[in-house]
A = this chain, B = another copy of it.
Amino acid sequence: MPNNQFKKGELYSFITGKASTAIARRLQKNFKQANVDITIEQWSVLYHLWKQDGMSQQQLCDATFRDKPSITRLVDNLEKLKLVKRVASKNDRRINMIYLTKEAQQLQEQTMEIANQTLNEALQGVTNGQIEIAKEVLQNVYENLK
C-alpha cells in the first residue's frame, strides 16, 4: 500500500471530526431551546433504549461505542434525572438491566423530531447520493478501527 495516500494538509478535518462536533453542539442547542434538559450523551443512551427497552449496561457500551465506566456514569446521571431505572437481572446477578421510565418514554417523539430537524439543518445542500457515500466511508472507517 502506498504510504502517502493523502496530502498531509488534508489530514486535519478527518481526525478532528469538526462536522460531528458541530452537529452535536447544534443538537444540544436545539434541545435547550425546546426546554429539553438532557445532554446529547444522555440522549444517545435513551436513543438505544427507545429502540429496545431493557438493555444491559454492557449492551449499551457496545451500542454507543463507550467504555463501561462511561456508561456507568451516564446511567447514574439518567437515574438521578429519573429517566431510567437499574433492575438487577435474576438470571445473572452481575447484570443490570436498564429500563426507561414513563418520563423518558414521553421524551422520544419530541427529541427525535428535534434530531431530525437538526440533521436537516446540517445537510442542507447535500444530495442523498453524497450522503450515502459519506455514510459508507464513515462506516468503513469505523469497521477498520473498531
Dominant secondary structure at the A interface:
helix
Cβ contact of A20, chosen from B6, B17, B126, cutoff 8 A: B17
Kindly state whether residue A37 has any CB partner on chain B within 8 Å.
Answer: no
Chain B residues positioned under 8 Å from A130 (CB to CB):
133, 136-137
Do the beta carbons of A23 and B13 come within 8 Å of each other?
A: no
- Hey, what's the 0/1 contact readout for A73-95 against B, CB within 8 Å counting as 1? 00000000000000000000000
Residues on B with beta carbons closer than 8 Å to the beta carbon of A118: 15
Contact, CB under 8 Å: B145 / A122: yes
Interface status of A38 (Cβ within 8 A of chain B): no
Q: Say yes or no for A24: interface residue by CB 8 A criterion.
A: yes
A52 within 8 A of B: no
**Does A17 lie within 8 Å of B23, measured CB to CB?**
yes
Q: Which residues of B contact A27 (CB under 8 A)?
A: 15
